Amino acid sequence: MIRNDLHIHSLQSLCGIHSLMEIVNIAADKGMNLVNISDHGSANGKTMVFGVITDKSRVPPVIHSTKGVPIKVLAGIEANILNIDGDSDIPRDYISKFDLVSAGFHDMAEDLLSAQSPQKNIQALENYLKRYPLDIFTHPNIIPFPLPTTHLIDLALEYGFALEINNTNLRLGKANLELELAMLNEAVARSVRLVENSDGHSFLEIGENESILQFLQKNDIDGYSIFLNRHDDTLHKFIAERKQIRE
Ligand SMILES: [Zn+2]
Ligand SMILES: [Zn+2]
């Protein structure tokens, strides 16, 4: 179980199948502490409603489940990096209101998808970083968008964002395992921030890290020492630091 899950989709983007309150109840039942609602940007072709989730006077930072369990709720986004110029669908008006800004490559980045070029992909990420904030780079090793590992680690160190190990990507066979392992090893060696997230779209996925645990065990890696979201204090420092940068 992921105590602090920083990558969950809700009905807000019509990608997840749950409302915010359902997610809070699922998290409480699973013994979780914190959920970051990180719905997709508008390039996924769906109507987005970030206005309510980012308004702390309407969605407080702690919500009690129906059984009375307090769950911390963050307002995030999973923006799309759309092309080699680093265009993104992140709504600029909300940038300072998000608790965390995540972004990643998805199928609507059509030119990059068809090129499958590590050099073009890293250029796209670098151009995005010159124009927009990034706190978590989601599923860095998703198969259709390969990246050169060392250059990726260089950027993570320069800009301070965290690299994600994504349970759903591993479970569904969507991660390039060779690149994933190379990235993990180099990230640990060079002290780059790492997070483990579920990318949960449903109750089956929210807070789950079974495939991450299997991957770590197979490669003899200790998750406790490498993932910042396994430690509440480290996570809260990270969130505060990243938020300050955007203000
Ligand atoms: Zn994604
Ligand atoms: Zn996602």
Expressed in angstroms and rounded, the spacing between residue 224 Cα and the centre of ligand 2 is 23
Cβ–Cβ < 8 Å for 121, 112? yes
Q: What is the pLDDT of residues 18-52, one digit of tens each?
A: 999 999 999 999 999 999 999 998 887 766 778 88
Residue 110's pLDDT is: 96
**What mean pLDDT do residues 176-202 have?**
98
Q: What is the pLDDT of residues 112-145, one digit of tens each?
A: 999 999 999 999 999 999 999 999 999 999 999 9
Average pLDDT over residues 196-211: 97
Find the 40 Cα to ligand 2 centroid distance in Å: 7
Mean pLDDT, residues 169-186 taken together: 98
Residue 14 has pLDDT above 80, yes or no: no
Cα 107 to middle of ligand 2, angstroms: 12
What's residue 247's pLDDT?
82
Arithmetic mean of pLDDT over the chain: 95
Q: Where are the domains of the chain?
A: 4-246
pLDDT band (50, 70, 90) for residue 111:
very high
What does the block give as tokens for 60? 């407080």
With 90 as the cut, is the pLDDT of residue 12 above it?
no
Ligand nearest the Cα of residue 15 is 2
Looking at the CA of 108, which ligand is closest? Answer: 1
Q: Which long-range contacts (CB under 8 A, 24 or more apart) does 145-151 make?
A: 145/105, 145/109, 145/112, 145/113, 145/116, 145/121, 146/116, 146/118, 146/121, 146/176, 146/179, 147/118, 147/121, 147/122, 147/179, 148/118, 148/119, 148/122, 149/179, 149/182, 149/183, 149/186, 150/186, 151/122
For residues 41 and 81, give the distance between their C-alpha atoms in angstroms, rounded to a whole number: 10
Ligand nearest to the CA of 104: 1
pLDDT at 61 over 90: yes
Nearest of 87, 138, 84, 89 to residue 111 by alpha carbon: 84
Q: What is the pLDDT of residues 219-231, one digit of tens each?
A: 999 999 999 999 9
Structure tokens at 176: 């390039």
Q: What's the CA gap between 1 and 47, in Å, rounded? A: 31
**What six digits make up the tokens of 46?**
């769906």
Pairwise CA distance, residues 63 & 103, whole Å: 25
Residues facing residue 39 across a β-bridge: 77
Could you tell me if 106 and 174 are in contact, meaning their C-beta atoms sit under 8 angstroms apart? no
State the distance from the centre of ligand 2 to the C-alpha of 228, rounded, in angstroms.
Answer: 19
Q: In this predicted structure, what is the pLDDT of residue 101?
A: 97
The answer to whether domain 4-246 has CATH 3.20.20.140 is yes
139 C-alpha to center of ligand 1: Å?
A: 7
Distance 104 CA to ligand 1 centre (A): 6
pLDDT computed for residue 13 by the predictor: 79
